Chains A and B, each alone.
Chain A
Amino acid sequence: MAHAVSTAARVGGSGVRLFGFLLLLAGWGLALAALALLAADVPRGAFVLAGMGVEIVGLVLVIRSHPLPRGTRE
């Protein structure tokens, strides 16, 4: 069963995309900071997971910022 891609879900343009990519980099920075700042495995792991959470938010923004394919078929 095919689903139409939600046009409402698509937001912004290059500005949102840039912000999304910056969030991806920020999430990676958080993961690196966990290594340098924390010693125990558990808080380190929590910090790294938080960084990956920021990356996921960035990824969602990047996905939504890309224009929908132009329909060329009835």
Chain B
Amino acid sequence: MPAAGSNPGLLICLVFILLVPCAAAGLALVNTGLGRSRSAAHSMMSSVCVLGVAALAYFVCGFAWQGFAGLPSHVASIGGKPWGWLGGGPFLFRHQPLDGSPASLVALLGMFSVGLAALIPLGSGADRWRLATCCASTAVLAGWTFPLFAHWVWGGGWLAQLGVNYGLGRGFVDTGGAGTIQAVGGLTALSIAWLLGARHGKYTREGLPTAIPGHNGVLVMFGCLVALLGWLGLNSAGAILYNGAEPGQAVLVAINTILCAATSALTSAVITNVRFGKPDASLTANGWIGGLAASSGACAFIHPAEAATIGLIAGILVTFSVEWFELHLAVDDPGGSISAHAMGGLWGVLAVGLFARIPAISESGMPASVATGQWLAQLIGIATLIGLVLPLTYGLNWLIDRISPQRVAAEGENQGMDLYELGAGAYPEFIVHSDEFMER
């Protein structure tokens, strides 16, 4: 395969991949802004450490287990059909030329993608998740859970082969990682929220939730804008590398991405304005991120009007699910990560089956007619995320919790994560008021 230097398409793809860290920066800002001021430095510190651990774990074993179509993998034969279960390449990027070839670009995109997925649970564990255990949890996510599912989807595994083996459209399609990055990260965020429990003072003795507003709306909104840049790169690079799109198709991908985010955020703003009399900034931000997450599924295969429809539904879904998780399921998710990433991502995966027109691949390898059965391939992917990935990520994090408790001690929560774990606050010159969220 030609390297990026001799192939303009791959060079453009490399530029798109280098935009992806902006998505991570945006999410880190959103998570920090939606948390408390006394945990702000801890939140950003956790983001940096999580990105570092994710990159290392992916380098050590993650890419080897994710693999790429054409690289070695462990295959089981079920009913006479080959099922790729796990990548079988060497660890530590050995024998992998890092020269701009498609496989090397996948390795680079995977390294950034796994960091993005690992940042998602930080939103649901804000203000109470210990730095050491969130790094341990990230190592497991980046070294095992993410590569396993990514192999099935992007590494030529059994989900990707559903089309070839069982005639289900093009197999499971996930252009920019609505399932592989967003839903995997969002379901891990749900596991973390369950294992940590609610923040001190979040619920009254009668079980009523109380509002603990984010400390910096400017950080949150700026994070949304930065994240957009990263998502444009993520979806465009995914379309080229995983779906064989021409670089020129990135224009359609970018338009669909921004339309999806825009309609989702505006829907959230309108819903909260109608219900509460004023638009809610944090829910609008969640709507924006949820729209971006939903856009990642089908962005390369839909008309812009359909992208706007997907965003509209994502906005409704995210806005109401934030309330549903907090009020009815008693899940304390300060950053709205579960709603924005898990719900948005799962909707994005389903939307591929409902809206996308994906050309089938004929036996000669050339595009043929529009594929049928795509909806069923997407449903099987969703069943895998909920039925396997959720128990897997919950079980692994439960094990970490048994070895070393993931939640900070009560003293640390009262004092604030900044002072307790880092020894210094994010805003040392600010006057510290008494905590109106705590029982006196």
Which residues on A are within 8 Å of B, measured CB to CB? 2-7, 21, 24-25, 27-29, 31-32, 35-37, 41, 44-45, 48-49, 51-52, 55, 58-59, 63, 66-74
A51 touches which of B162, B383, B395 (Cβ 8 Å): B383
Closest to B202 in A: A69
> Which residues from chain B contact A74 at a C-beta distance below 8 Å?
204-205, 439
Which residues on B are within 8 Å of A, measured CB to CB? 78-79, 81, 162, 166, 194, 197-198, 200-210, 327-330, 332, 372-373, 375-376, 379-380, 382-384, 386-388, 390-391, 394-395, 437-439
> Across the interface, do B379 and A45 meet the contact criterion of CB distance under 8 Å?
yes
With A5-B330, A21-B394, A72-B201: A52-B209 Cβ-Cβ less than 8 Å: no
With A4-B208, A69-B197: A24-B391 Cβ-Cβ less than 8 Å: yes
> Across the interface, do A52 and B206 meet the contact criterion of CB distance under 8 Å?
no
B387 touches which of A45, A55, A72 (Cβ 8 Å): A55
> Which residues from chain B contact A58 at a C-beta distance below 8 Å?
387
B439 touches which of A36, A63, A72 (Cβ 8 Å): A72
With A24-B387, A35-B166: A73-B330 Cβ-Cβ less than 8 Å: no
> Across the interface, do A73 and B201 meet the contact criterion of CB distance under 8 Å?
yes
State the Cβ distance, A66 to closest chain B Cβ, in Å: 5
**Alpha-carbon distance between A71 and B332 when the two chains are bound, in angstroms:** 13
Which residue, A2, A5, A66, A72, has most C-beta atoms of chain B within 10 A? A72
> Across the interface, do A4 and B376 meet the contact criterion of CB distance under 8 Å?
no
With A3-B328, A31-B387, A55-B386: A71-B376 Cβ-Cβ less than 8 Å: no
**Alpha-carbon distance between A41 and B209 when the two chains are bound, in angstroms:** 45
Closest to A21 in B: B391
> Across the interface, do A5 and B379 meet the contact criterion of CB distance under 8 Å?
no
> Across the interface, do B206 and A41 meet the contact criterion of CB distance under 8 Å?
no
In the complex, the 5 A-B pairs of residues with the closest C-beta atoms, listed nearest first: A28-B387, A71-B205, A69-B198, A31-B383, A5-B207
Which residue, B166, B330, B375, has most C-beta atoms of chain A within 10 A? B330
**Alpha-carbon distance between A36 and B380 when the two chains are bound, in angstroms:** 13
**Alpha-carbon distance between A3 and B323 when the two chains are bound, in angstroms:** 10
> Which residues from chain A contact B376 at a C-beta distance below 8 Å?
41, 44-45, 48
> Which residues from chain A contact B391 at a C-beta distance below 8 Å?
21, 24-25
> Across the interface, do B204 and A27 meet the contact criterion of CB distance under 8 Å?
no
> Across the interface, do B388 and A72 meet the contact criterion of CB distance under 8 Å?
no
Closest to A26 in B: B387
> Which residues from chain A contact B382 at a C-beta distance below 8 Å?
52
> Across the interface, do B379 and A52 meet the contact criterion of CB distance under 8 Å?
yes
> Which residues from chain A contact B394 at a C-beta distance below 8 Å?
21
Closest to B373 in A: A41
Closest to A41 in B: B373
Closest to B376 in A: A45
Besides A2-B327, A73-B201, 20 other CB < 8 A contacts? Answer: A2-B208, A3-B328, A5-B207, A24-B386, A24-B387, A24-B388, A24-B391, A27-B383, A36-B81, A41-B373, A45-B375, A48-B379, A49-B379, A51-B383, A52-B383, A59-B386, A68-B203, A71-B203, A73-B203, A74-B205
> Which residues from chain A contact B437 at a C-beta distance below 8 Å?
73
**Alpha-carbon distance between A26 and B201 when the two chains are bound, in angstroms:** 37
State the Cβ distance, B405 to closest chain A Cβ, in Å: 16
> Across the interface, do B194 and A66 meet the contact criterion of CB distance under 8 Å?
yes
> Which residues from chain A contact B328 at a C-beta distance below 8 Å?
3, 5
A71 touches which of B78, B204, B387 (Cβ 8 Å): B204
> Which residues from chain A contact B201 at a C-beta distance below 8 Å?
72-73
**Alpha-carbon distance between A68 and B201 when the two chains are bound, in angstroms:** 13
With A35-B166, A48-B380, A55-B386: A73-B194 Cβ-Cβ less than 8 Å: no
State the Cβ distance, B331 to closest chain A Cβ, in Å: 8
**Alpha-carbon distance between A73 and B202 when the two chains are bound, in angstroms:** 8
**Alpha-carbon distance between A10 and B382 when the two chains are bound, in angstroms:** 26
> Which residues from chain B contact A68 at a C-beta distance below 8 Å?
203, 207, 330
**Alpha-carbon distance between A35 and B379 when the two chains are bound, in angstroms:** 12
Closest to B78 in A: A36
> Across the interface, do A5 and B327 meet the contact criterion of CB distance under 8 Å?
yes
